[in-house]
């Protein structure tokens, strides 16, 4: 059974961890978590002993298995014979995707397509984004029409279309996830702290809205969804709609010793790729399956004052 220890601090994967060594296939079913060197993937791999004790969870990082090397991936798949794949790996920074659309499609679409083909008869969970919406409406439900505004979002929409036809497979659209990543720069809160440590001011939009969520909460919810065995399309985010500026203020209050400097700005003045104004998600569908309420960021931070968020 799942436990309720979602507030345990998650440490990065050990550099000596070898996911491709032979496992005893007679003990527990194997689950792959791709992108285990990133934020969500790392939390999923590290919280598995708490929430997925019935599985042998193998966290795959880029250095351990290059997902674009399809022959190596197929070989590892035949060797490990996973009974579940949770696919978190992606080129997830919008500017990088916009600058190199070919790479974005290779990593976000082609890799997903190959994994889906290999996992045609087992469950696969794919992480998508709230940015698949154009932001004109907000409070988006799963049935609402997508309308991606940039390359990153386009790749996620195409990948969703690869995943969803298989009734064993699941798409999870999530929002900004926060926490502690192995490299210290994958979470929005980490990026803010880096800027403030460097004495830089952060300009944050007061008119762009998301539903941020701690990655440890995302991890717990995903493992509960695995246990429920209810494939499909789900929105998974925090229960509080916040502007980028409000999010920054919450993180700044956590780190007064960094002397945070914030400047409120408007998305109207942004010169980069198009951005959704309000990509807040309605998470009522997945909430009905979970044993705990999805928290808002303000609530969660107040309840976890010692978390290095």
Write down the pLDDT at residue 8. Answer: 40
Write down the mean pLDDT value for the chain.
91
Please state, in angstroms and rounded to a whole number, the distance separating the CA atoms of residues 185 and 90. 15
Is residue 120 one of the residues assigned to a domain?
yes
Q: Which of 166-170, 220-224, 264-268 has the lowest mean pLDDT?
A: 264-268
Asked if residue 292 lies in contact with residue 214, where contact means CB atoms within 8 angstroms, the answer is no
pLDDT tens profile 266-293: 998 888 888 999 999 999 999 999 999 9
Mean pLDDT of 220-225: 97
Is residue 190 one of the residues assigned to a domain?
no
CA distances from 138 to 16, 133, 146, 165, 297 (A): 43, 9, 12, 26, 18
Closest by CA to 52, choosing from 263, 229, 234, 281, is 229
Is residue 249 one of the residues assigned to a domain?
no
Q: Is pLDDT above 70 for 125?
A: yes
Mean pLDDT of 15-35: 64
* CATH code (residue 176): 3.40.50.720
Please state, in angstroms and rounded to a whole number, the distance separating the CA atoms of residues 32 and 252. 36
Is residue 12 one of the residues assigned to a domain?
no
Is residue 309 one of the residues assigned to a domain?
no
Is residue 195 one of the residues assigned to a domain?
no
What is this structure's pTM?
0.91
pLDDT tens profile 252-265: 999 999 999 999 99
Q: Which of 1-15, 78-92, 177-191, 293-307 has the lowest mean pLDDT?
A: 1-15
Closest by CA to 117, choosing from 153, 152, 150, 77, is 77
Mean pLDDT of 122-147: 98
When divided into structural domains, the chain yields a total of 1
Asked if residue 159 lies in contact with residue 263, where contact means CB atoms within 8 angstroms, the answer is no
Is residue 178 one of the residues assigned to a domain?
yes
Q: pLDDT band for 162, please (50, 70, 90 cuts).
A: very high
Write down the pLDDT at residue 53. Answer: 87
Is residue 66 one of the residues assigned to a domain?
yes
Write down the pLDDT at residue 26. Answer: 52
Q: Which residues constitute the domain of residue 287?
A: 30-183+214-238+276-295
């Amino acid at each position: 059974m799942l436990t309720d220890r979602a507030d345990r601090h998650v440490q990065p994967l050990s550099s000596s961890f070898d996911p491709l060594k032979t496992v005893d296939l007679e003990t527990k079913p194997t689950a792959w978590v791709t992108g285990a060197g990133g934020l969500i993937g790392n939390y999923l791999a590290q919280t598995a002993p708490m929430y997925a004790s019935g599985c042998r969870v193998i966290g795959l990082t880029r250095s351990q298995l290059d997902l674009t090397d399809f022959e190596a991936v197929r070989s590892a798949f035949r060797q490990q014979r996973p009974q579940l794949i949770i696919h978190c790996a992606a080129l997830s920074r919008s500017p990088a995707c916009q600058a190199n659309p070919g790479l974005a499609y290779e990593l976000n679409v082609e890799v997903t397509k190959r994994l889906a083909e290999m996992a045609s008869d087992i469950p696969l969970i794919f992480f998508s984004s709230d940015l698949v919406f154009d932001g004109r409406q907000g409070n988006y439900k799963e049935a609402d029409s997508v309308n991606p505004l940039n390359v990153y979002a386009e790749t996620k929409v195409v990948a969703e279309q690869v995943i969803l036809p298989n009734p064993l497979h699941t798409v999870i659209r999530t929002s900004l996830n926060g926490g502690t990543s192995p490299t210290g720069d994958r979470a929005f809160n980490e990026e803010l702290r880096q800027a403030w440590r460097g004495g830089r001011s952060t300009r944050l939009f007061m008119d762009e809205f998301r539903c941020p969520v701690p990655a440890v909460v995302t991890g717990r919810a995903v493992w509960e969804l695995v246990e429920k065995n209810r494939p499909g399309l789900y929105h998974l985010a925090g229960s509080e709609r916040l502007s980028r500026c409000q999010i920054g203020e919450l993180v700044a209050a956590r780190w007064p010793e960094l002397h945070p400097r914030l400047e409120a700005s408007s998305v109207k003045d942004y010169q980069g790729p198009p951005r959704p104004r309000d990509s807040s998600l309605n998470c009522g569908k997945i909430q009905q399956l979970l044993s705990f309420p999805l928290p808002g960021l303000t609530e969660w931070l107040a309840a976890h004052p010692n978390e290095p968020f």
